[in-house]
């Protein structure tokens, strides 16, 4: 009986706070962005005070005297152009536009038309502050000199920054400012900046500068409150460590004014204490970011069958990594990252090491290198994220390896390693999909998610895939099943039932369907069911913008035979209060 109880409690003992796909640092904790604006919406204001659209002057047009001086040259026939100052566009684009003017006599009016046609080449390509100029000259052998003055930003002024350093915002905008200035690129940089959750509102205005070909960008921002304090109560933990838990999350989204983020979390249940901290720091305007994460958990198994033997687990994890943006537009974001994780777990029974075939006298240690890539597509009413995480376990820093036979510390039995005993050297892959869509009619929302894990062999418990509970398959206990490989997927539809006059949701119904499955590698085969599936519905109530309650009921389509907890009846809940 004791052996069976220990096996049932195993996942709850072994799972570290960073284990399982839902809690991997860096790669999976970012929420799928819910698009609030269309990528094509106007971001750069070029309007007059009266609201009439104004085209920015590219460069000063030549004086009437200059044009007439050129046109007065008897029999002026332009046979070729000498283009000076062009760097943004190929010369062929200008020569094609000028072809109708070559090889025939031109008067002053046609010369001005030629200048405007050449300027239009810039404008059509988005370089509205660039243009052509015909300097005073004597045309010889039919060769006309054309000065191409390419626009540049003389100044970027930031107003309204309270926590952000103005220099940081300026450097981010300069990446889309040329030279030469191309308005679509500048608008894209402004729109990307407006997607920063630290910025609540952004207005921009581009005006002519004091010298030819220059312009000034004026940006006014309103920052969101960078500090947040969130209290939560739920029954989302595994009943084996006490399902009912309280948590406090505190964060500051810009402590140094660099776009960095510092966060901490404390969670307490009857049998669990967890503390976690994280910090992210942008290193370069191109999207290079440093990420650091640390977590510590103490857990006591509360199963009545194990009260007398006192089963406990202690786990600790550290992670440090770099993320790099590879491609960024207002609608698409591709990034890649590399992280190094150190995870360690110790389990005891009555104060003595809890020995399992895969542990080293109750101790399990993983040192892993993780490479992740992600692509996010934002649309007017939809958002899609695809993410890939490849993990490579390393035999370094005293990781759990089984190079030799060991003796059981209590029975003195000889345990011989073989290729089917999980150890710290492994390769696994995790794939994730998140999709969100908001329908225009009725404000109905659709959420789709999918997670999958593959492995090249048996995995230590710290790396295994878990299913069951909120975020996986509701209707079953949290971490109901654990395996080396598996998948979990779900679909949820949120139907608004009650709104405020401002459109904020007060009451919503959320029917859902979820399914998950696990499997094992090698000779390690766990008896019992491998698949979980459920149908259910949730009810969300938000009487205030800072207070919400969600209750879910899910009907398990496979009976597990457990009936001692509210989760066994398919009921989970969460209450959150955002103090600021």
| Tens-place pLDDT, residues 370-382 | 999 999 999 999 9
Amino acid 29: pLDDT: 35
The CA distance from 118 to 148, in Å, is: 9
Closest CA to 168 of 82, 282, 49: 282
The CA distance from 301 to 285, in Å, is: 47
Closest CA to 339 of 382, 386, 392: 392
Strands 199-208 and 214-223, by their bridges, are antiparallel
* Burial degree of 426 (CB within 10 A; 0-12, 13-18, 19+): buried
Count of C-beta atoms within a 10 Å radius of residue 377 = 18
Torsions phi, psi for 435 (to 5 deg): -135, 135
108 or 278: which carries more pLDDT confidence? 278
Alpha helices in 147-281 (DSSP H): 166-174, 183-194
**In the predicted model, what is the mean pLDDT of residues 329-352?**
93
**In the predicted model, what is the mean pLDDT of residues 350-366?**
77
Q: Half-sphere exposure (CA, 13 Å, Cβ side) for 269?
A: 23
Closest CA to 14 of 340, 361, 362: 362
* CATH top class, domain 63-194+199-227: alpha beta
Specify the range with the lowest mean pLDDT, choosing from 243-247, 345-349, 410-414, 526-530. Answer: 410-414
Strands 245-252 and 261-269, by their bridges, are antiparallel
CB 16 within 8 A of CB 297: yes
The CA distance from 357 to 350, in Å, is: 19
**Per-residue pLDDT band at 35 (split at 50, 70, 90):** very low
Q: Is 150 helix (H, G, I), strand (E, B) or coil?
A: coil
Q: Which two tokens stand for residue 488?
A: 């979990």
Q: Which two tokens stand for residue 222?
A: 């309103």
**In the predicted model, what is the mean pLDDT of residues 105-125?**
91
152, containing H or E segment: strand 152-159
The CA distance from 562 to 567, in Å, is: 9
Q: Is 462 helix (H, G, I), strand (E, B) or coil?
A: helix
CB 201 within 8 A of CB 45: no
**Helix 108-124 / helix 64-71 crossing angle, nearest 10 deg:** 120
Count of C-beta atoms within a 10 Å radius of residue 48 = 8
| Residues β-bridged to residue 374 | 335, 387
> What is the per-residue pLDDT across 160-217, written as a single tens digit (0 to 9) for each?
999 999 999 999 999 888 889 999 999 999 999 999 999 999 999 998 888 878 899 9
**Per-residue pLDDT band at 528 (split at 50, 70, 90):** low
Closest CA to 392 of 430, 442, 344, 355: 430
The CA distance from 124 to 535, in Å, is: 55
Amino acid 33: pLDDT: 41
Amino acid 3: pLDDT: 40
């Amino acid at each position: 009986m004791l052996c069976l109880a220990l096996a049932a409690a195993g996942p709850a003992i072994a799972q570290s706070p960073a284990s399982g796909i839902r809690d991997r640092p860096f790669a999976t904790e970012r929420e799928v962005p819910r698009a609030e604006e269309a990528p094509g919406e106007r971001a750069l204001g070029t309007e007059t005070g009266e609201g009439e659209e104004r085209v920015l002057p590219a460069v000063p047009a030549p004086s009437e005297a200059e044009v007439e001086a050129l046109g007065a040259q008897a029999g002026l026939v332009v046979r070729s152009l000498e283009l000076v100052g062009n760097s943004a566009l190929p010369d062929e684009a200008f020569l094609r536009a000028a072809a109708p003017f070559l090889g025939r006599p031109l008067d002053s009016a046609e010369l001005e038309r030629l200048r405007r046609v050449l300027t239009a080449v810039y404008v059509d390509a988005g370089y509205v502050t660039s243009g052509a100029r015909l300097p005073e000259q004597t045309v010889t052998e039919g060769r006309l000199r054309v000065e191409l003055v390419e626009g540049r930003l003389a100044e970027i002024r930031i107003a309204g920054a309270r926590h952000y350093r103005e220099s940081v915002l300026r450097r981010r905008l300069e990446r889309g400012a040329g030279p030469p200035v191309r308005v679509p690129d500048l608008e894209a940089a402004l729109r990307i900046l407006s997607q920063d959750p630290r910025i609540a509102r952004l207005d921009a205005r581009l005006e002519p500068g004091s010298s030819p070909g220059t312009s000034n960008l004026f940006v006014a921002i309103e920052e969101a409150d960078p500090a947040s304090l969130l209290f939560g109560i739920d029954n989302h933990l595994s009943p084996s460590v006490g399902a009912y838990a309280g948590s406090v999350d505190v964060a500051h989204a810009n402590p140094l004014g660099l776009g960095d983020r510092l966060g901490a979390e404390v969670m307490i249940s009857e049998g669990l204490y967890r503390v976690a901290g994280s910090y992210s720091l942008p290193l370069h305007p191109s999207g290079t970011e440093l990420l650091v994460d640390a977590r510590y958990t103490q857990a006591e198994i509360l199963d009545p069958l194990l009260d007398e033997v006192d089963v406990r687990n202690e786990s600790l994890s550290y992670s440090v990594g770099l993320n790099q943006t590879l491609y960024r537009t207002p609608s698409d974001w591709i990034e890649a990252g590399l992280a190094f994780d150190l995870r360690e777990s110790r389990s005891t029974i009555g104060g003595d090491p809890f020995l399992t075939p895969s542990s080293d006298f109750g101790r399990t240690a993983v040192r892993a290198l993780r490479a992740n890539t992600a692509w996010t597509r934002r649309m007017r009413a939809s958002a899609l994220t695809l993410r890939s995480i490849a993990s490579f376990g390393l035999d370094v820093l005293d990781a759990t390896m089984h190079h030799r036979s060991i003796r059981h510390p209590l029975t003195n039995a000889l345990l011989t390693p073989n290729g089917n005993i999980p150890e710290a050297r492994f390769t696994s892959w995790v794939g994730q999909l998140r999709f969100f869509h908001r329908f225009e009619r009725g404000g109905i929302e659709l959420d789709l998610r999918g997670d999958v894990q593959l492995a090249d062999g048996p995995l230590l418990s710290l790396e295994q895939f878990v299913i069951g509970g909120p975020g996986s398959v509701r209707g079953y206990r949290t971490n109901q099943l654990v395996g080396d490989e598996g998948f979990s997927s779900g679909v949820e539809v949120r139907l608004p039932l009650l709104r405020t006059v401002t459109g904020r949701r007060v009451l919503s119904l959320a029917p859902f369907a979820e399914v998950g499955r696990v499997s094992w590698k090698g000779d390690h085969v766990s008896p019992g069911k491998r698949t979980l599936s459920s149908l259910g519905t949730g009810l969300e109530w938000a009487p205030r913008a800072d207070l919400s309650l969600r209750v879910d009921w899910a009907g398990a389509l496979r009976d597990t035979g457990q009936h001692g907890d509210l989760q066994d009846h398919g009921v989970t809940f969460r209450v959150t209060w955002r103090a600021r």
